[in-house]
Structure 1
């Protein structure tokens, strides 16, 4: 089974170095940070579509895809639009673009950017209505009303990037899920250490050199720590449940506040021929988007539903997948989702897939590190994962399979099946 009417491919793209929150890239916004990536990608090939996203909204634009494309000084006749699905934003942008290719469109440039350092401050509805009405009737009084605003009139990022419905952060939800699934602090710290070690090693051996464009402010990812250790990770304070003493999540085993932009290519066979020779690519065989009731299953557990559904359609067991690129929103999130995949009866009873998937191959996950170490600018992560997975898969034999998985706020999970041609 193939998802698309014709073969569709993901080709490795470019990204900025990922910067720490409040660090080298904090003076950017999601547009200015994306422009150099769009320019560098368009210098390799002219796309027929440009699809981009950002998760943290701004009143300064309504179609960030078009704003980036035009600010980059690129061909205005290229259709450019936006997509958004929380942390899966640039992944679903790729899915959407793949479904639109054909006819006279063979190559799409997709991606996402996020400057988490600068969450916007907005007005609550009543304050906004009051001041907008004053500007229409009495501009001078409206200015006075603006000066008289209080914190109660403002939408402030006091709780960070919290889910609107629950009012709780991703970490709050994940802490609860970790406790339900019995994911220990030690297991999380161990996974985090592996992520940092692999990301640092990837940089040292040059894996990221042709995936990352240096910027004047920063030349390589700022988050991976060569000097971390189990002892240092174990010494960190609890981040989301410090009062009960039952917490397990820390800044060390959670993805950090990050600024960055990332892109990849989506192409038909004809589109691939327009890319520079030697560009790594893989067929996008199939994809799955799952949604769960987060009150029942946990906010970030949808991948454990999407993965078995995707694999079962193709009669694939876990061991048939040579590479797993799993977004690490939290170390606990990776561990909990795989714990669900391994739990007897879970895939049959909860994901409603009656299939023997076998043992999960832990040694095939994130060989060059994941979001805990590299960072997680919400909208950029899907494209970063795709480019990283495609390059890793490119070094493997023809026919080798990979799974790319991203969890997303709202109880979503997006998963792709890639094949090395």
Structure 2
């Protein structure tokens, strides 16, 4: 974990904006990751009273061969002052939350006091690559100096070398998808299909209600003809969710994860501000802001542990370090990669055997307050563009927490492929 040392200034998070989120190959399907990000960056920088951020951090999970530092490319295409440094980061679903932690560690309150952080993924515009053997052959063919050498290399090409690399939403080590891993977790933790569908229903209902009352109006900017997320369903019900077939375990008869209780593959970009007191003064006064108090990063051996089960390790460590229990947290934002993963996290957090035996913490954190979780919808309903999810969840939490009494707290938790997870502790506070 990276700690905020006493020498560092107070760190603030101020809500950013995002594009609407849409399912893969939907209304955002024609835009790549840079095109999705540019309007978000332009909007954010256009708000600044000081003209430009001190630096930028941007994340993108699904790679593209035409760029290596997407953060810099986005700033260039957005017409931002080219003297603003920008670097890219990646940590699967935790990408833009990790960018926030990195920015917080860089800010010193003097020369660097305001960072623009965000992330993006366009799962509709995934670039295919050549297999390694075919790539080697192409490179040797290009380097051949004579026609004879080129012909010789042409005859060296074997049919089994002609392969494309097609990125997959699966873990490299195990070859299994996150959904397949989570089916195992659901069985291990005895998570029922009915409970998963209930989480999904609540996510959709909360998202629709939040849109209808205007919660997202200043968090989401129009993109083309799209003005709001396309994924939340007003007409969903437990009956409709129950009719959906299993998506990842279709043969055992015991599969419980479906398209309805899993987050959909999505396109979108999102952003957030990270600032010291001096940086915060450069933002419009109406921008929702809260303090970033602490954070924790956890990692587990996903070959023997659930792929998405790192947060239940991180949360108790973070709470113990700050002498808090579950009841002391007034808002919980837990990333819904799958409803089953959320329920497994809650079961683990409420299990004394897990806390003592796995996390190695003694003490009772109390009952987990389900009624304080994801009040404005989660990833199952809103969507999950991998690189954008961290900034989306944090901005959503910042806005909600900023309306609550000073001193109240939020936990924001994200699980990530690779057996990792990130958790942030936020606190409502008055800025002066």
Match for 2:118 among 111, 121, 133? Answer: 111
Change (3 A) 1:356 1:40: same
2:34 pairs with 1:26: no
Residue 12 of structure 1 aligns to a residue whose secondary structure is: strand
- The residue aligned with 1:209 is 217
Cα distance, 1:146 vs structure 2 = 13
- The residue aligned with 2:4 is 3
Match for 2:132 among 125, 143, 154? Answer: 125
Query: Does the Cα contact within 8 Å between 1:131 and 1:146 map onto a contact in 2?
Result: no
- The residue aligned with 1:61 is 67
Query: Does the Cα contact within 8 Å between 2:4 and 2:105 map onto a contact in 1?
Result: no
Change (3 A) 1:232 1:152: farther
Match for 1:231 among 231, 239, 242? Answer: 239
1:364-407 deviation digits (Å, cap 9, x = unpaired): 00000000000000000000001000000011000000000000
- The residue aligned with 2:177 is 169
Match for 1:155 among 165, 177, 185? Answer: 165
- The whole-number CA distance in structure 1 between the counterparts of 2:88 and 2:234 is 36
TM-score, structure 2 length as denominator?
Answer: 0.94
Change (3 A) 1:101 1:123: same
Q: Which runs of 4+ in 1 moved over 4 A?
A: 138-152
Superposition pairs for residues 299-314 of structure 1, below 5 Å?
299-314=307-322
Cα distance, 1:117 vs structure 2 = 1.5
Query: Does the Cα contact within 8 Å between 2:329 and 2:411 map onto a contact in 1?
Result: yes
Query: Does the Cα contact within 8 Å between 1:2 and 1:285 map onto a contact in 2?
Result: no
Change (3 A) 1:353 1:217: same
- The whole-number CA distance in structure 1 between the counterparts of 2:375 and 2:193 is 22
Moved more, 119-128 or 374-383: 119-128
- The residue aligned with 1:39 is 42
Query: Does the Cα contact within 8 Å between 1:25 and 1:217 map onto a contact in 2?
Result: no
Cα distance, 1:118 vs structure 2 = 2.3
- The residue aligned with 1:178 is 186
Query: Does the Cα contact within 8 Å between 1:131 and 1:145 map onto a contact in 2?
Result: no
Residue 228 of structure 2 aligns to a residue whose secondary structure is: coil
Query: Does the Cα contact within 8 Å between 2:174 and 2:303 map onto a contact in 1?
Result: no
Cα distance, 1:346 vs structure 2 = 1.1
2:141 pairs with 1:134: yes
Query: Does the Cα contact within 8 Å between 2:133 and 2:161 map onto a contact in 1?
Result: no
Change (3 A) 1:124 1:354: same
1:17-69 deviation digits (Å, cap 9, x = unpaired): 00111001111111110000000000011210110010001111000000000
TM-score, structure 1 length as denominator?
Answer: 0.96
Query: Does the Cα contact within 8 Å between 1:106 and 1:270 map onto a contact in 2?
Result: yes
Change (3 A) 1:149 1:401: farther
- The whole-number CA distance in structure 2 between the counterparts of 1:110 and 1:179 is 37
- The residue aligned with 2:85 is 79
Query: Does the Cα contact within 8 Å between 2:15 and 2:287 map onto a contact in 1?
Result: yes
Moved more, 131-140 or 192-201: 131-140
- The whole-number CA distance in structure 2 between the counterparts of 1:105 and 1:146 is 55
Q: Which runs of 5+ in 1 are unaligned?
A: none
- The whole-number CA distance in structure 1 between the counterparts of 2:77 and 2:136 is 32
Residue 225 of structure 1 aligns to a residue whose secondary structure is: coil
2:61 pairs with 1:50: no
- The whole-number CA distance in structure 2 between the counterparts of 1:211 and 1:136 is 51
- The residue aligned with 2:197 is 189
Change (3 A) 1:398 1:152: same
Query: Does the Cα contact within 8 Å between 2:95 and 2:387 map onto a contact in 1?
Result: yes
1:49-94 deviation digits (Å, cap 9, x = unpaired): 1100100011110000000000101100000110110000000100
Residue 136 of structure 2 aligns to a residue whose secondary structure is: helix
Tell me the C-alpha RMSD between the 2 structures.
1.9
- The whole-number CA distance in structure 2 between the counterparts of 1:243 and 1:376 is 27
Q: Which runs of 5+ in 2 are unaligned?
A: none
